[in-house]
Amino acid sequence: MNLDLQELPLPSLPAGTAGRVSRIHGGRGMALRLARLGVRPGAVVRLVSSGPFSGPLLVEVEGLRVALGRGVARRILVRPLP
Amino acid sequence: MRRIALVGQPNAGKSTLFNALVGYRAVASNFPGTTVELLRGKGLVGGRPVEIVDLPGTYSLLAGDRAEQVARDFLTSGEVDAVVNVVDASLLGRSLELTLELAELGLPLVVCLNMMDEAQHKGISIDSDALAELLGVPVVETVAARGIGLKRLLSAIPQARPARPPRYSADVERAISRVEAAVESVTEASGLPPRYVAIRLLSGDPPPKSLARIGLSGEMKAAREELARARGEDPALVLSAERHAAALRLFERVAKVGHARVGWRERADDLLMHPLLAYPLLALILFALFWIVFRVGGILEGLLLPPLEGLSQGLASLAGGGLFSQLLVGAFQGLWAGVAIVLPYLVPFLFLLALLEDVGYLPRVGYLMDALMHRIGLHGKSVIPFLLGYGCSVPAVLATRILEDERDRLVTAALAVMVPCAGRAIVVFGLVGRYLGPGWALFLYLLNLVVIGVAGWVLKRVFPGAGPGLILEIPPYRLPALRTLLGKVWLRLKDFVVVAWPLLVGTSALFALIEALGWTGPLNAGARVLTWPLGIPAQAGVPLVFGILRKELSLVMLTQAFGTADLSLALSQGQMLVFAGFVLFYMPCLATQAALGRELGWKRTALVLLFTTGIALLVGLLLRGVAALI
């Protein structure tokens, strides 16, 4: 079974659904900045809304709402949760 | 005197608590990053005076942006006797990570579970006795915004003691012990626990200032490399994940999560952040803001202006025609203008701004603007200085400290000083809003956004480089207490009354003197380089020059320069538009220039001044063209 097939970049998650973070592509700085807000491998992230004009994404993680720029969100890989 | 530090994650309510403990001193808002420097105040604990220090919000004691470093350096400086860890109880699981870091730091600690009402709303019940037991420190429940639990907090502070630090997985503990053994001999003098120093060095952070000369020995490097190899990750991330797991275990032992009530605060984002509806709603909210400021301001001005004008004329006829009496009348006119022209628009504006801030809409505006900001090569946390700029440019410039990158700080500061502060809002409302209507005032604000966008685009070409992407906490909507709103309005108004009024009175008297000496002519002639291309009367030159001291002065002195409070007699509508448009952008006021100088250095400040004045001239010319059409 190849689980990687189910991995999606965060912006591809349908709005209103949740996914579990599997990997974060990015330097130490970005990974740490995300970890501070609870976005880290293993965390469950729900996509609340994604802004138009390739604007940022609004996600909810551990009860907190976080705005993520597109560029950042694309480097976060998630596995969709049912 | 004992020194007590308020430490917590951004937006946990530290500044609100600080205000409640020492009286209104700090601007507290419902968005992260409002406090960027240490704020000190005096309070009473157990009948004895103590110094209470409000620290910038910090997610972690690991190095972050400059505001976070300020917090960390202060905590490790040895100047702190006790720490009150302010925790947003509704985000307890995540907040405990910082609590555990504070436990590692070993300072006497009290945990303040703030926003207990929010936690209840979210269906989280917390056994604070169990938490106190597990951490080994006093835990107090509060709702600082409503003044609940403050007495209990104050009486708990003398009982502060170091908390029990968490234990991690065996391999991490082994690595910590190795580094600990290597640093133990040097840490003793600094008073910092060797375990804390070991964890900090293991995370790859520089050593604390008091231990600056500590070198990374071979043993430390080996421990770091071994951990990184075993886990396949940077040790900083390993430690962060370990601490996260420890915080979660602690959370599960002391808290139960039941059903959250879902009300308007959770649903509001479905509308206000809706991909399509968000922008029309933003425009609607902004227009409502302008309309209310304009209407309320108009009513207040109508009440205040006639009696004060009568008084001023009465004084003039009583005083006679000597130089001294002219000075007296001038000074009185300044005072009168400060009351009757400035306050009517300033008070409703500040109130509504405070409301938008504290409800939590302002960071959402930042979110909605990110797509635009991205295009102008600025993103992420730059929105916070921009949003603060609508209140006053000085905190906006200081807030650029939350940006990690030097280039981002310069570009953000250069653009943020063009955001119209409350002083410039007065010129817009008192001139354009009053004589041309609120629609034109809104037009100037929107034009301002567009110009900042274009200027940003230009700066991106001059200073290439992409800032880090947006990662911003969006706080929940909150219903602010009227008391905190009024406190904030008062705090900002106090600055106006204390700084601007004496300046208004002084410069008005000075202006009367200049007039009496017959110097206005040459001065206005000198300012003709500005007024001539803009197509506004020469008499408006001196008010423009004096506006550098304080932006509201431009409007106030305009009434003095023309000798009438009804400016429609002296200026056409188009000229008013040009004048206000120029004031929006040209040179920031003296206080802002000083802040810029401190944050960026004087050379760069001079660049910012030239840049903004150039833009102001361009905008003025553009508006002259627009005015020709109306």
- The domain segmentation of chain A, as residue ranges, is 3-80
Q: Is the pLDDT of residue A34 over 60?
A: yes
Arithmetic mean of pLDDT over chain B: 86
Sign of the Cα torsion B594, B599, B603, B607 reads negative
Confidence of residue A52 (pLDDT cuts 50, 70, 90): low
Q: Is the pLDDT of residue B6 over 90?
A: yes
Does one domain contain both B150 and B176? Answer: no
Does one domain contain both B553 and B590? Answer: yes
Residue B107 has, within 13 A of its CA and on its CB side, a CA count of 26
Percentage of residues of chain B with pLDDT beyond 90: 33
Please answer whether residues A78 and A22 qualify as being in contact, where contact means their C-beta atoms are separated by less than 8 angstroms. Answer: yes
What is the distance between the terminal CA atoms of chain B, rounded to a whole angstrom?
A: 65
Please indicate, yes or no, if residue B478 is contained in any of the structural domains: no
Residue B57 CA to residue B9 CA, distance in Å, equals: 5
pLDDT at A5: 56
Residue B75 CA to residue B56 CA, distance in Å, equals: 11
Mean local confidence (pLDDT), B217-222: 82
Q: How many domains does chain B have?
A: 3
Confidence of residue B124 (pLDDT cuts 50, 70, 90): very high
Q: Is the pLDDT of residue B211 over 80?
A: no
Q: Where are the alpha helices (DSSP H) in B203-320?
A: 218-231, 235-254, 264-272, 278-319
pLDDT at B324: 78
Which residues in chain A have Cβ-Cβ distances shorter than 8 Å to B380?
A: 69
Confidence of residue A2 (pLDDT cuts 50, 70, 90): very low
Residue that has been written with the tokens 């400035």 in this structure: B342
Which strand (E) or helix (H) includes residue A47?
strand A44-50
Please indicate, yes or no, if residue B474 is contained in any of the structural domains: no
**Residue B339's beta-bridge partner residues?**
none
User: B152 lies in which domain range?
Assistant: 2-159
Residue B287 CA to residue B303 CA, distance in Å, equals: 24
Does one domain contain both B424 and B338? Answer: yes
pLDDT at A1: 43
Give the predicted TM-score (pTM) of the model. 0.81
CATH class of this structure's domain A3-80: mainly beta
Question: Can you give the CATH number for the domain in which B66 is found?
Answer: 3.40.50.300
Residue B370 CA to residue B469 CA, distance in Å, equals: 10
Which residues in chain B have Cβ-Cβ distances shorter than 8 Å to A62?
A: 91, 93-94
Please indicate, yes or no, if residue B262 is contained in any of the structural domains: no
Binding-face residues of B in 336-395 toward A, CB within 8 A: 363, 366-368, 370-372, 374, 379-380
Does one domain contain both B150 and B174? Answer: no
Please answer whether residues B555 and B426 qualify as being in contact, where contact means their C-beta atoms are separated by less than 8 angstroms. Answer: yes
DSSP state at residue B162: P
| Residue in B418, B421, B393, B442 with CA at minimum distance from that of residue B292 | B442
Condensed to tens digits (0 to 9), the pLDDT of residues B242-288 reads 999 999 999 999 999 888 777 788 788 888 888 788 889 988 998 88
pLDDT at B448: 93
Residue B179 CA to residue B186 CA, distance in Å, equals: 12
pLDDT at B99: 97
Q: How far are the Cα atoms of B293, B421, B475, B484, B572 from residue A37, in angstroms, in the given order? A: 37, 31, 12, 27, 53
For residues B77 and B262, the model is more confident at: B77
Please indicate, yes or no, if residue B185 is contained in any of the structural domains: yes
SS3 B182: helix
Residue of A nearest to B123 (CA): A63
Does one domain contain both B132 and B224? Answer: no
**Mutation site for B-interface testing, chosen from A21, A49, A65 by largest number of B Cβ within 10 Å:** A65
For residues B313 and B42, the model is more confident at: B42
Residue that has been written with the tokens 């599997």 in this structure: A22
Residue B164 CA to residue B324 CA, distance in Å, equals: 72
The total of other beta-carbon atoms located within 10 Å of residue B266's CB is 16
SS3 B465: coil
Please indicate, yes or no, if residue B273 is contained in any of the structural domains: no
Question: Can you give the CATH number for the domain in which B181 is found?
Answer: 1.10.287.1770
pLDDT at B29: 64
For residues B500 and B622, the model is more confident at: B622
Contact A69 B471 (CB under 8 A): yes
Confidence of residue B516 (pLDDT cuts 50, 70, 90): confident
pLDDT at B630: 73
Which residues in chain A have Cβ-Cβ distances shorter than 8 Å to B468?
A: 29-30, 33, 72
| Residue in A59, A58, A63, A64 with CA at minimum distance from that of residue A21 | A59
Condensed to tens digits (0 to 9), the pLDDT of residues B523-543 reads 888 888 888 989 999 989 888
pLDDT at B34: 62
ipTM of the complex: 0.87
Condensed to tens digits (0 to 9), the pLDDT of residues B292-348 reads 988 898 898 888 878 877 887 787 777 666 777 778 877 887 777 778 777 888 888
Q: Show Cβ contacts of residue B134 under 8 Å, excluding neighbours closer than 6 positions.
A: B164, B250, B253, B254
Mean local confidence (pLDDT), B3-14: 91
